[in-house]
Structure 1
Amino acid sequence: MYIIKSDKTFWNTNYSYPLFCLSNLIGIQISGQGVPTSKFTAENMKFRALWQIIFFLVFVGYMFIWVMLPTKTYKTSWTPKLNEKLNSTYFREQGTNLLLFSFPIMFIAALGCVYLHFQKKSSNSGSSKGKSHCVSIKRPAMARAPLGIVNGVELTFAAMFIALMIWSLANYLYVSFGALHMHTPGEKVWQAKFRSVSLRLGYIGNTCWAFLFFPVTRASSILPLVGLTSESSIKYHIWLGHLSNVLFAAHSIGFIIYWWAMTDQMYLMLQWSSTYLSNVAGVIAFVVSLVLWATSFDRIRRKFFEVFFYAHHLYIIYVFFYILHVGVAYFCMILPGIFLFLIDRYLRFLQSRRKARLFSARLLPNGSMELTFSKNPGLSYNPTSVLFVHVPSICKLQWHPFTVISNSNLEADKLSIAIKTEGSWTQKLYKQLSSSLDHLQFSTEGPYEPSSSHFLSRDSLVMICGGSGITPFISIIREIIFRSTQPEFNVPKILLVTAFKNPADLSMLDLLLPIYGNPIDISKVQLQIEAYITRENDQKSFENAHKLIQIKLFKPNPSDSPISSALGKNSWLLLGAIISSSFIMFLIFLGIVTRYHIYPVERRGQNYHYSFKILWDMFLVMACVFIGTSVIFLLQKRETSEEERQIQNVEMTSPTSSPASWLCATERELESLPHQSLVQCTKVHYGTRPDLKRILFDRKEPDVGVLVCGPKSMRHEVAKICASALAKNLHFESISFNW
């Protein structure tokens, strides 16, 4: 998610990244940030390999349990033994599932935070030097609807997941058909089998839910372990959402047919049993899911974004009644994803309570904006990071993601984002920034960064973009500019191919260089820019429009503060502390409630309401997340408050000019560029489109990174070229607003 091309593209955005880079977990380095091997001692490499082996073994064991769950062996042999040893008076029927399904993922999440902390420290200590060899595993395998651009790794894991669904359903039915129970007098065998199929479809839908929330957990410690971010894996959330809705719809419709047409028991739909599952809770969850599902299709998201946005918040009601319907045992199977999502969501809430200090706005003639905020110098981020922005004066609820185009090394105390005005929300923002306002209130979440900048280790980079798709590449170019000043860094050759509709859009190139900070030396950067104007042949319209660029400064407000990480410099360690302390607290409180409140009632032979048990679970999860997150967040906030007060008192200096106004009729040699001007490395083509096949096949370097960001047709065309047998030196990566 990078820049809103339209207000209706939120939640469509993602990278076309591999589903799971398991090679990261078994010691094969497929990407890096240019860290030389000499930086790592043999002990460090062994230590890293040991951690990866632990993660890999725990995850394989976790998936093995899912494979065995529907089998007769698990039901008749394992379950009695496990229940005897694990379902104690402290956890009752939740004990087995807490150990087998909740603990492994929470263990990986907590220990992964420690691993990522040390990995980040080692990367920072040597990230500016050297070059590592990359193994490409992301060659596109297909580029067509409805899946979009998919590589071989994604297809493999998608096929494995579908195989797990088929295996689970087949085994569930095999076990249940072998011991059918007739629920009503006179019920026929085929009717009992129909009911069994409907029930088991719900079981495997619950398997989808076990993984549904991982891709939308932005500050996740699990996704980076496999080379993913929330933005790069949002499409997996969409896939799982559609699949689970299909399964739950079949489950619900199947029971409606069974109760209505077969057994005449429609009254059971409204039953809220005190000893078993609540049917009416399932009906409510199903109705809400239909609303969520209907508004999440691509056409609705594009044309009626606000309908989708507000309807999707019904997930809170959906989750509540869904958990009431499935009960405590099945809740423990999907608990890790929900638990980690709640921690992330509450951290985002705490971070968003702080108002961000807006320094300046650079308004371009094509309606684009560059907003520059104050930033804590200790906050660092990778290229192509994303910042979520909220402007209360425009809308009280909506948050929108935008590309961070600044570089945390070149601009230590500032953070900039780029915005294109093409929707109602962005048009209102542009209008307010253009007015006489001297202060505008912003709230932010993030920035959320990719797990690595592996593309920087290529011999050559070809970056192809259309319109506002240039924004993630601005951050990459600025990162390369910084790294070119570091010793022993091999600067890749850069070819930037941009396609704009109108000459005024060329002003987007004005954002390539920052307007603040120290003078920049780009003499070592081998940059070539090919800009294509597809709709006009006249250069004069741009020369006139370029004069309209405005830079507006804003006054600081005492309530504003610099943008900083939600958990400070040691964010991974603190996140690990939150995950582990919250989960341990939940287990302790759950054991106390069960042993001293629920168990005494059941020991007396009385019935403890089935729904009350799940209400206790939900309450304890939310309470422990609230307590654990709040305490650690407030402790780290005290440590950084003094530093932020010092930054808040720094006054903004007015920039002398827009540094990249180099496409005007009169060329201007920049002081920071002693050997060539930016004009000399830029060529503008009017009234034509780029010949992408010729451009890519002309690259003869052995290791060429091809990054594309723009319209779907452009991304699919580039993907097909890179998938060709003649393009073995091309390594494809898509950065997209809508996949």
Structure 2
Amino acid sequence: MDAVQVVKSSSPPSHEGIHIVRAAIRLLAIFVVFPGTLLIWLMMPTNTYRQIWLPQIRLKASSSTYLGAEGGTILVYTFPILFIAVLGCVYLHLGKKLNNHELKSWISIISSSGTTKNRFAVWKQPMLVKGPLGIVSGIELAFFVMFITLLVWSLSTYLHNKFKNITTQSAAKHHEQVWESKLDSAALVLGLAGNVCLAFLFFPVARGSSVLALFGLTSEGSIKYHIWLGHIVLAFFTAHGLCYIIYWAATEQISQMVIWDKVGVSNVAGELALLSGLFMWATAIPRIRRKMFELFFYTHYLYILFMFFFILHVGIAYACIALPSFYLFLVDRYLRFLQSRTSTRLIFARVLPCETLELNLAKTPGLKYNPTSVMFINVPSISKMQWHPFTVTSNSSLEPEKISIVVKGEGSWSKKLYQMLSSPSPTDRIEVAVEGPYGPASTHFLRHDTLVMVSGGSGITPFISIIRELLLLSTSFSYKVPKVVLICAFKNSLDLTMLDLILPMSSTSIDMSNLNLQIEAYVTRETEPKTDGSKPVRSIWFKPNATDAPVSPILGTNHWLWLALIISSSFVVFLILIGTITRYYIYPIDHNSNTIFSYSLRAVLNILVICVSIASTASGAVLWNKKKNAMENKQIQNMEGPSPMGTPQSLYYNADRELESLPQQSLAQATNVHYGERPDLKKVIFECTGSSIGVLASGPKKMRHEVATICSSGLAENLHFESISFSW
């Protein structure tokens, strides 16, 4: 929707002002604050920073009786990133406001804006297709190159500056050999380099992050960078610890391993942090993670101990360098915790014979989300701790009172859920908790003449949400949407029943005549259709419960504004509280000398104040919005679902039956089923016509790479690729 503009027949809406404000915010965040922060990171390993800038910062910070030593670090490292996050929230709120207005008016493409959008779209094209990071877009590659450059620069500069001062004479003063002094310095540098990686580790896992959305990224698409950053962080910290152990053993100081200094670095805390990290690292190995997911999932909560002991190890002043991403993650994590405490109203489920479920949950009409969004689901009767992400297939405007997800029985958790609902006498109520939905801040599907969507297996689910979005625009707004070519590959003919989920269950009011849809379905492991005379798709309706509530936006309809308020207000509360504690408790003891008051106690006080600040402000915002939505939630809770229905007709299984629904007939007519073959993706994609063709791929890694290779080959300039992957 970002590529469209509203035109009213009466006085034209003032979109120009909103666009100018958004452009100014993006300019300030991306081209002013972010480069300034990057400059500080680049200068940090240099002698200019350590000998000139840092002493000046410490001198000014030490003159303050309220924040003390960490005041300068907070100002230089923490504040700019939180400022970018707040700017991002305002930017996204204005974009959402613009999109909501567009949905209420008739829509047309602005030809003058097409060049700008296409120019920006170039950065979303795949620059790398094969490799350890998979498919990498231009935006991701730019950030990846900047990060690697920063890491190499920091490591090499630190080592050069440390080693050039080590001589035989300087080593002899400490009763050491040259190699021992260099090992000591190298161990410190490895820790400093690991801290550079740690500063970025938590950005990809903040699901509702405004920082990622501001740069055109999503948490789902960036999770691979969290994985790689985790590997690099723990590799550096492990090497850091081992080098110190070897150094202490060589210099007969092995007793340093059990020292917890009151002032200065705490070795024991560092060892406990490393031990927690090593447990997480071992269970994050891909083979272990896939085969023993529960072990991986539970041990990953050790990140709490890892960060706690890391802060105790280095002290709060130095930890402020890596604090911003963790601070934003804590805000996001606490909001998710508050949302997950509510039991969600499950209305009905559609059970397919291919071990697939469509779960339909009640939602408030005020909950809006874009296609390809993801929602995390927890079913306590299966596992109280496990949360699993699933693609949202419904459309928030087409289906204002329910939200749907599709669960494919491919793992032990999803198979247990399918068995619960596919039994002859399924339960009449399942307790469900949700987090989300999370998704892209905007979509750009309408800027294309043709959409080619390639899926494999359950990879079709993101495309269901896109098709329903196009159905809404073509039906409710009479907008000429792009032609849609859906290429879907399935293993067995039973999997064809997933195509039944393209239309919502109440599809009688949908007019498909304005949607140019072509479905090419491929059954790769069977040479002919399978018929057994059964009715494969059935619906299960669940009894409502007074304690259940519909899915609602945790911060209301103005989510981004409330998030900006939480981030800014919690940070202000933190500064006030820690400033008061420092002025009236720490300063009278330490007088900003940093040689008397316990580093560990100071760190614990800061951690406690950060948690209290985030919890109090976020809880207040959630309670305020909960009261505002109480009446709406009550109305939806009292909504009576229809009586249990029989088995609905399937379009592609027992297709000889007469279909009563006109949309179902149209969908069946638009579908061609091919048995015993795989799609020739290169031929199908190159045969599509149009000045701009959007190519989307979702499914197995090999298939996505094949599609990306075709689009990035340069043989056709009108192809614009986008990978949709939620597997990591």
- Shorter-chain TM-score: which interval? over 0.9
How far apart are the structure 1 equivalents of 2:46 and 2:322? 19
Preserved CA contact (<8 Å) 1:421 1:430: yes
Preserved CA contact (<8 Å) 2:220 2:725: no
Residue 677 of structure 1: how far off its partner (Å): 2.3
Matches within 5 A, 1:290-329: 290-329=278-317
Q: Are residue 559 (structure 1) and residue 533 (structure 2) matched?
A: no
Residue 295 of structure 1: how far off its partner (Å): 1.5
Which digits, 9 at most, give the CA deviation of each residue in 1:399-431, with x for residues without a partner? 111111111111110111100112211111112
How far apart are the structure 2 equivalents of 1:501 and 1:650? 39
Preserved CA contact (<8 Å) 2:352 2:538: yes
Q: Which residue of 1 aligns with 2:86?
A: 110
Which moves more between the two structures, 81-90 or 328-337? 81-90
Which moves more between the two structures, 159-168 or 147-156? 147-156
Residue 163 of structure 1: how far off its partner (Å): 1.2
Q: Which residue of 2 aligns with 1:9?
A: none
Q: Which amino acid is the alignment partner of residue 637 of structure 1? A: K
How far apart are the structure 2 equivalents of 1:544 and 1:205? 62
Per the alignment, in what secondary structure is the counterpart of residue 540 of structure 1? coil
Q: Which residue of 1 aligns with 2:607?
A: 618
Q: Which amino acid is the alignment partner of residue 727 of structure 2? A: N
Q: Which amino acid is the alignment partner of residue 350 of structure 2? A: R
Q: Which amino acid is the alignment partner of residue 110 of structure 1? A: V
Q: Are residue 60 (structure 1) and residue 35 (structure 2) matched?
A: yes
Per the alignment, in what secondary structure is the counterpart of residue 415 of structure 1? strand
Q: Which residue of 2 aligns with 1:93?
A: 69
How far apart are the structure 1 equivalents of 2:719 and 2:51? 53
Preserved CA contact (<8 Å) 1:484 1:491: yes
Per the alignment, in what secondary structure is the counterpart of residue 129 of structure 2? strand
Which moves more between the two structures, 604-613 or 302-311? 604-613
Matches within 5 A, 1:178-193: 178-180=164-166, 182=171, 185-193=174-182
Q: Which residue of 1 aligns with 2:634?
A: 645
Preserved CA contact (<8 Å) 2:497 2:652: no
Matches within 5 A, 1:533-682: 533-541=523-531, 544=533, 547-603=535-591, 607-654=596-643, 658=648, 661=651, 664-666=654-656, 668=658, 671-673=661-663, 677-682=666-671
Cα–Cα, structure 1 residues 125 and 645, in superposed 2: closer, same or farther, change >3 Å?
A: same
1:461 equivalent among 421, 433, 451: 451
1:491 equivalent among 481, 491, 498: 481
Cα–Cα, structure 1 residues 436 and 151, in superposed 2: closer, same or farther, change >3 Å?
A: closer
Q: Which amino acid is the alignment partner of residue 717 of structure 2? A: K
1:281 equivalent among 251, 266, 269: 269
Q: Which residue of 2 aligns with 1:49?
A: 23
Cα–Cα, structure 1 residues 171 and 184, in superposed 2: closer, same or farther, change >3 Å?
A: same
Which moves more between the two structures, 224-233 or 505-514? 224-233
Matches within 5 A, 1:358-369: 358-369=346-357
Q: Which amino acid is the alignment partner of residue 160 of structure 2? A: Y
Cα–Cα, structure 1 residues 478 and 304, in superposed 2: closer, same or farther, change >3 Å?
A: same
RMSD: 2.1
Q: Are residue 83 (structure 1) and residue 58 (structure 2) matched?
A: yes
Per the alignment, in what secondary structure is the counterpart of residue 355 of structure 1? coil
How far apart are the structure 1 equivalents of 2:172 and 2:271? 20
How far apart are the structure 2 equivalents of 1:609 and 1:544? 76
Q: Which residue of 2 aligns with 1:19?
A: none
Cα–Cα, structure 1 residues 723 and 527, in superposed 2: closer, same or farther, change >3 Å?
A: same
2:500 equivalent among 483, 502, 510: 510
How far apart are the structure 1 equivalents of 2:366 and 2:592? 59
Which digits, 9 at most, give the CA deviation of each residue in 1:573-604, with x for residues without a partner? 11111111110000111111111111111139
Preserved CA contact (<8 Å) 2:378 2:388: yes
Which moves more between the two structures, 91-100 or 78-87? 78-87
Q: Are residue 203 (structure 1) and residue 203 (structure 2) matched?
A: no
Preserved CA contact (<8 Å) 1:386 1:401: yes
Structure 1: 5+ residue runs without aligned partners? 1-30
Cα–Cα, structure 1 residues 559 and 42, in superposed 2: closer, same or farther, change >3 Å?
A: closer
How far apart are the structure 1 equivalents of 2:136 and 2:149? 18
Per the alignment, in what secondary structure is the counterpart of residue 733 of structure 1? strand
Which moves more between the two structures, 571-580 or 124-133? 124-133
Preserved CA contact (<8 Å) 1:670 1:677: no
How far apart are the structure 2 equivalents of 1:624 and 1:703? 49
Q: Which residue of 1 aligns with 2:2?
A: 32
Q: Are residue 730 (structure 1) and residue 719 (structure 2) matched?
A: yes
2:144 equivalent among 155, 158, 161: 158
Which digits, 9 at most, give the CA deviation of each residue in 1:124-149, with x for residues without a partner? 11156223633232332332242211
Per the alignment, in what secondary structure is the counterpart of residue 595 of structure 1? helix
Which digits, 9 at most, give the CA deviation of each residue in 1:56-75, with x for residues without a partner? 21111111111111111111
Q: Which amino acid is the alignment partner of residue 41 of structure 2? A: W
How far apart are the structure 1 equivalents of 2:179 and 2:486? 64
Preserved CA contact (<8 Å) 1:138 1:733: yes
2:157 equivalent among 171, 177, 197: 171
Which moves more between the two structures, 143-152 or 265-274? 143-152
How far apart are the structure 2 equivalents of 1:89 and 1:447? 44
Which moves more between the two structures, 139-148 or 683-692? 139-148
Per the alignment, in what secondary structure is the counterpart of residue 320 of structure 2? helix
Per the alignment, in what secondary structure is the counterpart of residue 465 of structure 1? strand
How far apart are the structure 2 equivalents of 1:206 and 1:593? 27
Which moves more between the two structures, 387-396 or 131-140? 131-140
How far apart are the structure 2 equivalents of 1:123 and 1:290? 45
Q: Which residue of 2 aligns with 1:13?
A: none
How far apart are the structure 2 equivalents of 1:450 and 1:44? 20
Residue 85 of structure 1: how far off its partner (Å): 1.7
Which digits, 9 at most, give the CA deviation of each residue in 1:680-736, with x for residues without a partner? 211101111111111111123221111111111111111111111203211111112
Which moves more between the two structures, 125-134 or 240-249? 125-134
Which moves more between the two structures, 293-302 or 347-356? 293-302
Preserved CA contact (<8 Å) 1:532 1:688: yes
Preserved CA contact (<8 Å) 2:538 2:646: no
Residue 673 of structure 1: how far off its partner (Å): 4.2
Which digits, 9 at most, give the CA deviation of each residue in 1:288-310, with x for residues without a partner? 21121122122222222222111
Cα–Cα, structure 1 residues 494 and 668, in superposed 2: closer, same or farther, change >3 Å?
A: farther
Per the alignment, in what secondary structure is the counterpart of residue 515 of structure 1? coil
Structure 1 segments, 4+ long, off by >4 Å, are: 36-41, 178-184, 654-657, 667-674
Q: Which amino acid is the alignment partner of residue 639 of structure 2? A: V
Residue 326 of structure 1: how far off its partner (Å): 1.5
Cα–Cα, structure 1 residues 391 and 666, in superposed 2: closer, same or farther, change >3 Å?
A: same
Preserved CA contact (<8 Å) 2:344 2:361: yes
1:712 equivalent among 693, 701, 725: 701
Per the alignment, in what secondary structure is the counterpart of residue 485 of structure 1? helix
Which moves more between the two structures, 432-441 or 522-531? 432-441
Cα–Cα, structure 1 residues 460 and 604, in superposed 2: closer, same or farther, change >3 Å?
A: closer
Per the alignment, in what secondary structure is the counterpart of residue 631 of structure 2? helix
Which digits, 9 at most, give the CA deviation of each residue in 1:116-171, with x for residues without a partner? 21221011111562236332323323322422112344333322211111211222
Cα–Cα, structure 1 residues 183 and 126, in superposed 2: closer, same or farther, change >3 Å?
A: farther
Residue 488 of structure 1: how far off its partner (Å): 6.5
Preserved CA contact (<8 Å) 1:527 1:681: yes
Structure 2: 5+ residue runs without aligned partners? none
Preserved CA contact (<8 Å) 2:69 2:592: no
How far apart are the structure 1 equivalents of 2:514 and 2:505? 20
Q: Are residue 437 (structure 1) and residue 411 (structure 2) matched?
A: no
Preserved CA contact (<8 Å) 1:534 1:689: yes
Preserved CA contact (<8 Å) 1:662 1:668: no
Which digits, 9 at most, give the CA deviation of each residue in 1:77-104, with x for residues without a partner? 1112222223322111101110000111
Residue 738 of structure 1: how far off its partner (Å): 2.8
How far apart are the structure 2 equivalents of 1:737 and 1:231? 6
Q: Which residue of 1 aligns with 2:370?
A: 382
Q: Which residue of 1 aligns with 2:395?
A: 407
TM-score by length of 1: 0.92
Residue 659 of structure 1: how far off its partner (Å): 6.6
Preserved CA contact (<8 Å) 1:39 1:126: no
How far apart are the structure 1 equivalents of 2:524 and 2:173? 70
Q: Which amino acid is the alignment partner of residue 96 of structure 2? A: K
Percent identity between the aligned chains? 50
